[in-house]
Homo-oligomer: A and B are copies of this chain.
Amino acid sequence: MTAVTTDNRQVRLAARPVGMPKPTDWKLTSEPVREIADGEIAVKALYLSLDPAMRGWMNEGKSYIRPVAIDEVMRAGGIGKVVASKSSKFAVGDYVSGTIGVQQFWIGQADDEAGAFYKVDPKMAPLPKYLNALGMPGMTAYFGLLDVGQPKAGETVVVSGAAGAVGQTVGQIAKHKGCRVVGIAGGKDKCDFVVNELGFDACIDYKNESVREGLKTHCPKGVDVYFDNVGGEILDHVLAKLAMKARIVICGAISQYNNTTPVKGPANYMSLLVNRARMEGIVVFDYADRYHLGVAEMAKWMKEGTFKTREDIVQGIDKFPEALLMLFEGKNFGKLILQVADDN
């Protein structure tokens, strides 16, 4: 018995990309949705999360998570609806968050680690928020900033990719903790958004102004915490402006993910010595047992109206390959999400 009587369209990895992923690096496939077995559930994908980290998952080699295999359905976190269940864990109609993959339906054991599904409540927040501040980007921002960055009230926090999913959340958390917050983003619209809508103290438009000069202007006492999503030259500019005992949170390096030449290491890293500063990496999964704390605090701020998030939603599973590229071209404005189906 199953409620599902349709095909499952899927996006699979066809080849390991060299540089920017090409259309031919993907394969769109379709297979019938099978009956579910005992203990299994079928989840209909509604929203999928598109993240810079996906580029890393497409490469071979040791990382914090195993690479997606060739011909495998591309890994993606998402929000879906349980449309069939032979498990006591989930009922038909439940909304869940988990690793759905870039496909219309996920089918498997309800308690399988591969899915790692947990229920979300559409009454508490609109479903896309669970892929943004209340999801992985939000948890990355929350624990990366607070646990690794350890900002103190009055300190200056700089965040790159400021209008992106992680960046917008980092900045707002830092404001809630009493910090001066300076964003770095590409374009006037994004900079206006984080300053006027999210309450950042300033934003440097790296596409139209000198990051070096901007840091000088907006961080007169130097940078105490830098939350880095981009790497590359911007990281070097911030290194040159560190305050004593500064902390750099290494969350990503989107400027380097599609390199065909070697990664540009931070030439100014000796500023760590001069300033007795530290640079540390963060992987969000390490904080899984404390996610609920981050969700609770940010949901409270959202209810108070002192915490906003913005999503950029692209429609249709077939759009996955081109939508992903928006991240690397800086074309998304807010958390990038792929809507796969309507909720009906």
Contacts and interface: CB of A to CB of B under 8 A. Distances in A.
Interface of A: 62-64, 231, 236, 250-253, 256, 262-283, 286
Contacts of A280: 272, 276-279
Contacts of A251: 273
A250 B265 contact: no
A286 B276 contact: yes
B269 A279 contact: yes
B263 A272 contact: no
Contacts of A256: 270
A24 to B, nearest CB: 27
Contacts of A281: 270-278
Contacts of A265: 236, 264-269
Contacts of A263: 267-270
9 contacts: A62-B274, A252-B273, A272-B279, A273-B281, A273-B282, A276-B280, A276-B282, A277-B281, A278-B278
A246 to B, nearest CB: 10
Nearest first, the 10 A-B pairs at minimum CB distance are: A265-B265, A273-B281, A272-B281, A278-B280, A265-B267, A265-B266, A263-B267, A279-B279, A64-B274, A250-B273
Contacts of A279: 269, 272, 278-280
B267 A264 contact: yes
Contacts of A266: 265-266, 269
A266 B273 CA distance: 14
A3 B277 CA distance: 47
Nearest to A277: B281
A230 B271 CA distance: 15
Given A250-B273, A271-B281, A279-B280, 13 more contacts: A63-B274, A64-B275, A253-B270, A256-B270, A265-B266, A266-B266, A269-B269, A272-B281, A273-B283, A274-B283, A276-B283, A277-B281, A279-B279
